[in-house]
Amino acid sequence: MRTGDYAELEAAITPATRLLMSESPTNPHLSVIDLERVAAIGRRHGVETVIDATLATPYNVRPLEFGIDYVLHSCTKYLGGHNDLLAGAILGAADKLEPLRKFRGLAGLINAPHNEHMLLRGLKTFELRMERHNANGQAVAEFLERHPRIERVYYPGLPSHPQFEVARRTMRGFGGLVTFMVKDADWRQTANVVDAVRIPRIAPSMGGVESLIEQPLVLSYYEFTAAERRAWGIPDNMIRLACGIENAEDLIADLAQALEK
């Protein structure tokens, strides 16, 4: 099912359907969901809705305010903010979460005290960090879109993004994740760009204070065939950059020298 095809989504609902689930924005294409529309589809068919808003974080989007029933966050990412803990959270109305709360009590699904300590530490700077992630992501995306070596940039804060108007209506900021494709590059030339940057570290996660970069072909989709990757929109020349909180001018200069090489 294509992200953002609401007619296809509604047509897929059957009497057995109990949950509609999506990300917003998605990873790595950063497609933005019309949350009100999804919530309305769910209500119309008596099906609950879930949005994984990890990439946006609660700073940039709050799906519950648009009628979504549940929201998921990987606290490992931006909420923790330092790439040093594993945790997750689900949000929703208290009565809807009560069965899950009881199950958690029976199954013993609790996080370690030290993890909780580090998460609380990260939350103290969460708002400040997100302001910088948003600013860096926007600046880097605008730079890349102007660069002659870049074929395409995926970033919801750009007017060229297919869901730009939806993003402006539903999001406070557009995040630190930027996905782009290097023009006329094969997988090896694309890997050379990744290897040439000096500031971002090569890693598949995101949300920490340091920038991370990866070639999805190499780190996330290496076990799939070329045909499968094409079907999912993962070309060999795609790079995903998770902007940290470094100086934006430094990040842009670093990307410029890597693309020049």
What confidence score (pLDDT) does residue 176 get? 97
CB 52 within 8 A of CB 81: no
| Continuous H helices in 31-112 | 35-45, 57-60, 94-107
CATH number at 6-123 = 3.40.640.10
The distance of Cα 52 from the centroid of its chain, to the nearest Å, equals 9
What confidence score (pLDDT) does residue 1 get? 56
User: Which sequence spans correspond to the domains of the chain?
Assistant: 6-123, 126-260
Instruction: Please tell me the distance from the alpha carbon of residue 127 to that of residue 145, in angstroms, as a whole number.
Output: 27
Residue type, 47: V
Digit-by-digit pLDDT tens for the chain (261 residues) are 567 789 999 999 999 999 999 999 999 999 999 999 999 999 999 999 999 999 999 999 999 999 999 999 999 999 999 999 999 999 999 999 999 999 988 888 888 899 999 999 999 999 999 999 999 999 999 999 999 999 999 999 999 999 999 999 999 999 999 999 999 999 999 999 999 999 999 998 899 999 999 999 998 888 888 889 988 999 999 999 999 999 999 999 999 999 998
Please count the other Cβ atoms lying within 10 Å of the Cβ belonging to residue 225: 9
The distance of Cα 11 from the centroid of its chain, to the nearest Å, equals 26
CB 99 within 8 A of CB 90: no
CB-side neighbour CA atoms (13 Å) of 184: 3
Helices and strands, number each (H, E), in the chain: 11, 9
Q: What is the pTM of this model?
A: 0.93
Could you tell me which residues are beta bridge partners of residue 180?
153, 239
Any idea how long the chain is? 261
Q: Is 87 helix (H, G, I), strand (E, B) or coil?
A: coil
Residue 59: closest CA among 116, 119, 125, 126: 126
CATH number at 126-260 = 3.90.1150.10
What confidence score (pLDDT) does residue 248 get? 98
What confidence score (pLDDT) does residue 105 get? 86
